[in-house]
């Protein structure tokens, strides 16, 4: 295999992945391309040695300004399975604590010769700002309430794996829509693939205006569940709430939680999904998360292959990946 071209000479249209719109003017085609590559990386992940040399010599740095378990580990695993070198930047042990500015931090990281920066930050727009300064590829791993594109891609992949194409499917997203970057990226991706999306939440957990959002709004979850193909639950993002938006968690669960009784209203084929971390007993009953149609573990598993696909699209040589085993 020839050595991948340096980052500055990358082929292909995808330069950064900051949001779903970056997948191109035809978002559905962009998602299809990621799905196609993901299929081959799922196959790699199932090998005895789940590693290929596709990104040998490339360096991927994770820059997480906000807590994360699965997303950070998932990107790191994905980069390692592609034979890229990985660096981990943890804010609590870095010079950011000494007051170093974001721009200086990026300059320092880039001076070490990295090819991709995976960034998570509590403020919307930070990954775009970094992309403006950096010559490496930038991947948004979640910015504030804004976007979390790789989560949406792994969710599309998981739905397709279980139900086939998303077109015409009814997807219900339940919970704290207002503070959710997952909801924003998922709505963009699901609707681009032709799914119908309904959001269900108390009015205080919806954005002030839903104008321009391609979704239906409902407040009665029980009425919506029987016609739902995918019930997607969101965590109550208490760290983003500056005021009391719900009377109590117990009351929230009573009206909007996926309890055992509510889960029984779902069709047999309907999927139960959650991006994690789950608050069992709040948005989802503990045992409901263990039902056979709950695919939460599949979401995590597929996340690695999807992120391999994204890293390969951004950093690969632009030629078709041939599926070579590690040398």
The residues assigned a catalytic role are 70-71, 98, 120, 148
Among 142, 149, 202, 316, binds ligand NCD (CB under 6 A): 142
CB of 163 to ligand NCD, least distance (A): 21
Cβ nearer to ligand NCD, comparing 227 with 276: 276
Among 275, 295, 304, 312, binds ligand NCD (CB under 6 A): 275
Among 146, 235, 262, 307, binds ligand NCD (CB under 6 A): 235
CB of 238 to ligand NCD, least distance (A): 10
Burial class of residue 193, CB neighbours in 10 A (0-12, 13-18, 19+): buried
* Residue closest to ligand NCD (Cβ): 235
Asked if 136 and 130 count as a contact pair (C-beta separation under 8 A), the reply is: no
Asked if 50 and 57 count as a contact pair (C-beta separation under 8 A), the reply is: no
Within residues 17-76, the interface with ligand NCD by CB under 6 A covers 70-71
Cβ nearer to ligand NCD, comparing 52 with 285: 285
Contacts of 102 (CB under 8 A, 6+ apart): 96, 126, 129, 130
Contacts of 271 (CB under 8 A, 6+ apart): 158, 159, 162, 163, 229, 230, 231, 293, 294, 295
Rg (CA), the chain: 20
Q: Is 307 in the site for ligand NCD (CB under 6 A)?
A: no
CB of 177 to ligand NCD, least distance (A): 12
Burial class of residue 225, CB neighbours in 10 A (0-12, 13-18, 19+): buried
Rounded distance, CA 62 to CA 2, Å?
26
Cβ nearer to ligand NCD, comparing 4 with 142: 142
Cβ nearer to ligand NCD, comparing 142 with 257: 142
Cβ nearer to ligand NCD, comparing 178 with 181: 181
Asked if 111 and 101 count as a contact pair (C-beta separation under 8 A), the reply is: no
Considering only CA atoms, which of 237, 92, 247 is closest in space to residue 178? 237
Q: By CB under 6 A, how many residues form the interface with ligand NCD? A: 11
Within residues 161-220, the interface with ligand NCD by CB under 6 A covers 181-182
Q: Contact residues for ligand NCD (CB under 6 A)? A: 70-71, 142, 148, 151, 181-182, 235, 237, 275-276
């Amino acid at each position: 295999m020839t050595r991948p071209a340096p980052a500055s000479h990358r082929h292909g249209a995808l330069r950064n992945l900051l949001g779903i719109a970056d997948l191109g003017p035809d978002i559905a085609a962009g998602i299809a391309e990621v799905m196609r590559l993901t299929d081959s990386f799922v196959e790699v992940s199932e090998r005895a040695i789940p590693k290929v040399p596709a990104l040998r010599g490339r360096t991927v740095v994770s820059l997480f300004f906000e807590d994360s378990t699965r997303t950070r580990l998932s990107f790191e695993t994905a980069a390692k399975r592609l034979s890229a070198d990985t660096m981990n930047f943890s804010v609590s042990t870095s010079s950011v604590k000494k007051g170093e500015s974001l721009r200086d931090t990026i300059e320092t990281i880039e001076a070490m010769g990295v090819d991709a920066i995976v960034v998570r930050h509590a403020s919307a727009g930070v990954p775009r700002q970094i992309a403006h300064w950096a010559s490496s590829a930038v991947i948004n791993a979640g910015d504030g309430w804004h976007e979390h594109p790789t989560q949406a891609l792994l969710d599309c992949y998981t739905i397709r794996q279980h139900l086939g194409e998303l077109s015409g499917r009814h997807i219900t997203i339940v919970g704290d829509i207002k503070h959710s970057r997952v909801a924003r990226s998922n709505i963009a991706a699901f609707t681009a693939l032709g799914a119908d999306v309904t959001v269900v939440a108390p009015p205080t957990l919806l954005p002030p205006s839903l104008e321009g959002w391609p979704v239906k709004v409902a407040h009665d979850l029980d009425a919506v569940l029987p016609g739902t193909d995918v019930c997607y639950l969101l965590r109550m993002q208490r760290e983003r709430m500056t005021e009391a938006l719900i009377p109590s968690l117990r009351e929230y669960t009573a009206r909007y939680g996926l309890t055992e009784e509510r889960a029984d209203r779902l069709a047999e084929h309907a999927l139960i999904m959650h991006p994690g971390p789950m608050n069992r007993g709040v948005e989802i009953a503990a045992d409901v998360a263990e039902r056979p149609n709950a695919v939460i573990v599949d979401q995590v598993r597929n996340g690695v292959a999807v992120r391999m696909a994204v890293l390969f699209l951004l950093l690969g040589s632009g030629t078709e990946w041939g599926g070579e085993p590690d040398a």
